[in-house]
Amino acid sequence: MQRALVTGGAGFLGSHLCDRLLADGLQVIAMDNLLTGDLSNIEHLFANPNFKFIKYDVTEFIHVEGPIDYIFHFASPASPIDYLEFPIQTLKVGSLGTHKALGLAKAKNATFLLASTSECYGDPLVHPQKEDYWGNVNPVGPRGVYDEAKRFAEAMTMAYHRYHGVKTRIVRIFNTYGPRMRLRDGRALPAFFQQALTNEPVTVFGDGTQTRSFCFVSDLIDGIVRLSRSEEVLPVNIGNPHEITIREAAERVIKLCGSTSQVVCKPLPVDDPKVRQPDITKARKVLGWEPKVSLEDGLRMTLEYFKKAVAKQLAAKKNGK
């Protein structure tokens, strides 16, 4: 039986990855310091004998007993408000954490997969973004802690590959949505769902003409698993090329929720990228992958989750928690 370590295993993407790997017949160790991850994302796995959770901060030396075949390095705060709240932890997990996880991959002769990001492209001057675009990142802006940590992580990953011969893979993840996103993680879709489901004003930042391309979580995880089993060392974009404006995203969520909410405009955060759309030619060619879930279907599946999450939140408020 193959064994995988998932750092950030209690997070949104990490927990879905654990589910998928277990379903594929692997043993899975999830590691998370629960800074932004949540045990509720993995509690359904606790009874599974092939699953183990270790609460741990991967910026410290990582020790795991026994063989490991795959390391998926997903630990990091990942939403703009998280890395504004935890700037140093974000930098540390991207740099020190990546170093430790790579060291473990080398020691165990494991395949290492880095969860990188479309943020490597910054506020892009090339559209859509291809993997050979070097990006337009402000290192000293508020988003710099995340963008530069991930860029450093990519460089470190390539160094371990070139110098130590570690089998490494790098996925550049574009905006992804689905069940288990935190209601208050500040990202556009969770914010819009929460606001629409409680009939509060839906906050569009700027004039809402900035664009994003949203990928449903099951598609993303499938692309990542395929990449881990491929031979591709250089970064691969995984995301859904269906690009929409943020205003349109807000309006679609309001309509889907049958909400009476109105859109209100708020100031645009510093260095907020104006456009973002993955060019997935490489993923199609190298991995035979492309997304299957339409935005309409994905939003409907996500609505079911957010309805429950909002009901839970309202009940907790009522009980004075």
> Site residues (CB under 6 A) for ligand UDP?
79-80, 175, 187-188, 191, 203-205, 210, 212, 246, 268-269, 272
Identify whether 146 is a catalytic site residue: yes
Q: Which helix (H) or strand (E) holds 141?
A: none
Choose, from 83, 146, 160, 177, the residue flagged as catalytic: 146
Alpha-carbon Rg for the chain, nearest whole angstrom, is 19
Whether residue 291 contacts residue 219, with contact meaning beta carbons closer than 8 Å, is answered with yes
Give the whole-angstrom CA distance, residue 107 versus residue 105.
6
How far CA 259 is from CA of 214, 244, 304, 320, in Å, comes to 21, 20, 15, 26
Non-local (6+) Cβ contacts of 163 within 8 A are: none
What is the b/e burial string over 223-243, where b = at least 16 CB atoms within 10 angstroms of the residue's CB? bbbbbbeeebeebbbbbbbeb
CB-wise, 69 or 200, nearer to ligand UDP? 200
- 215: amino acid identity, one letter: C
Task: Name the residues annotated as catalytic.
Answer: 146
